[in-house]
């Protein structure tokens, strides 16, 4: 699940395939680790291996493809269990009133495609 505070362009990308571009390192801090260890029941070693594997492609590259599904605003009054499931799927917390987009069918490229960032990338 992808999230945004604002209804974003993913709305009109629904039912399309989107390239995954790695632009910056945004997984530092304990929030990610807590979701990996507490919710996904990964060990500290598995978490480190996953984060290191994510560094394998580097930055400024297109690393894969995902299918874009529906976008919706996460309501404030969502039941706790459903919120927990969404937070686990998104690997984020505090999703109330944020726009979520369901992503599926992730496919990693065999080799990254180097691409500098610019408008719409």
Helix intervals (H) in 38-79? 44-54
In tens, the pLDDT along 60-111 reads 788 889 998 888 899 999 999 999 999 888 888 888 998 888 889 989 888 8
- Asked if residue 45 is part of any domain, the answer here is yes
CA 85, CA 121: separation in Å to the nearest integer? 30
Residue 21 forms part of a structural domain: yes
Domain annotation covers residue 119 = no
The model's pTM is 0.67
Q: Is residue 96 part of a domain?
A: yes
Domain presence at residue 121: no
Q: In total, how many domains does the chain have?
A: 1
99 domain residue, yes or no: yes
Q: Please check whether residue 120 lies inside any domain of the structure.
A: no
- Contacts of residue 17, defined as CB under 8 A and 6 or more positions apart, other chains included, come to 65, 66, 67, 68
Domain ranges, residue 34: 2-114
Pairing of strands 2-4, 61-73: unpaired
- Name the pLDDT band for 51 (thresholds 50, 70, 90): confident
Q: What is the pLDDT of residues 2-20, one digit of tens each?
A: 655 555 555 567 888 888 8
Per the document, the length of the chain is 121
Residue pair 14/70 in contact (Cβ under 8 Å)? The answer is yes
């Amino acid at each position: 699940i992808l999230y945004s505070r604002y209804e974003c362009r993913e709305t009109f990308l629904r039912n399309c395939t989107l390239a995954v571009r790695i632009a910056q390192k945004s997984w530092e801090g304990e929030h990610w680790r807590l979701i990996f260890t507490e919710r996904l029941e990964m060990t500290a070693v598995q978490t480190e291996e996953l984060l290191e594997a994510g560094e394998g492609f580097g930055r400024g590259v297109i690393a894969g493809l995902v299918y874009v599904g529906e976008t919706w605003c996460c309501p404030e009054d969502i039941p706790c269990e459903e919120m927990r499931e969404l937070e686990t799927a998104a690997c984020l917390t505090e999703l109330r009133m944020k726009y979520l987009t369901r992503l599926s069918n992730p496919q990693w490229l065999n080799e990254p495609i180097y691409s500098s960032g610019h408008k719409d990338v």
